[in-house]
Amino acid sequence: MRRSTRALLEVTLLFLLVIGICRVLFQYRSVPFLSRTLPLWAAALFLYIPLLLLFLQKRSPREWGLTLHGFRASLTTALALSLVCLPAFVVLYQVYQRLWLHGAGHIALSSGWIMLFLYHLACVALPEEVFYRGYMQSRLNGAFPSGVRVLGARLGVGWLYTALLFALGHYLIDFRLDTLATFFPGLLFGWLRERTGSVAASTIFHALCNFTILLVS
């Protein structure tokens, strides 16, 4: 079996395994124990399965972008992209609420917003970025090394296929069509991973995106 085919098959099967388990857990979320711990189980799957593979394949964490090297540049890049994209998203979302859903549109900041942001950073964004942009995109980049440079980042098959699976993974949990729109931020997360060489930037931007959606939805 060719190296590229093997990598594509490995990534796809592992994706189906992890999302399948998450789907089963979500299906039984009414069980008291699962209702309280479901986010932690999902985070553990996204985080520890790639780390187990990293150990078994005897790879350096830095190969998969699991490093704080250049963290200042990663933080700066993530914040700069946030300043460009997120205000525009808020404005467009307000227009969408008013014109299509006939809603008032509002921004609500709860009293526990710091803890909410930290939760999304540590329990949602970080595990997903380790799985998708850390393991998956890096694994595919090694098998499909060709690509085109866009604003300082080399983008190829790994970048695109990872964004597709990222969106599909959200859809397969509760079969809501609107979750497929996560494909577009997934492209930005992947670009950040390639631009900075680390998942730190994509994790920060991912958490800021989630937090912004909570503010306006």
Distance CA 107, CA 156 (A): 37
Q: What's the predicted TM-score (pTM) here?
A: 0.91
Helix intervals (H) in 57-151: 71-99, 113-119, 126-129, 137-143
Taking residues 148-165, report their average pLDDT: 95
Location of structure tokens 């958490």: 207
Considering the domain boundaries, does residue 96 fall inside one? yes
The vertex-107 CA angle with 101 and 113, nearest 5°, equals 135
Distance CA 217, CA 205 (A): 18
Considering the domain boundaries, does residue 128 fall inside one? yes
Other C-beta atoms lying within 10 Å of the C-beta of residue 193: 29
Considering the domain boundaries, does residue 65 fall inside one? no
Phi, psi for 153 (deg, rounded to 5): -125, 140
Using the predicted structure, report yes or no on whether residue 148 has a pLDDT greater than 70: yes
How many CA atoms lie less than 13 Å away from 120 in the CB half-sphere? 18
| pLDDT of amino acid 99 | 67
Considering the domain boundaries, does residue 211 fall inside one? yes
| pLDDT of amino acid 207 | 96
Domain limits for position 161: 3-60+70-216
Number of domain units in the chain: 1
pLDDT tens profile 53-73: 998 988 889 999 999 999 999
How many CA atoms lie less than 13 Å away from 202 in the CB half-sphere? 31
Average pLDDT of the residues of the chain: 89
| pLDDT of amino acid 93 | 78
Contact 38, 26 (CB under 8 A): yes
- Model confidence band, residue 214 (pLDDT cutoffs 50, 70, 90): confident
Considering the domain boundaries, does residue 14 fall inside one? yes
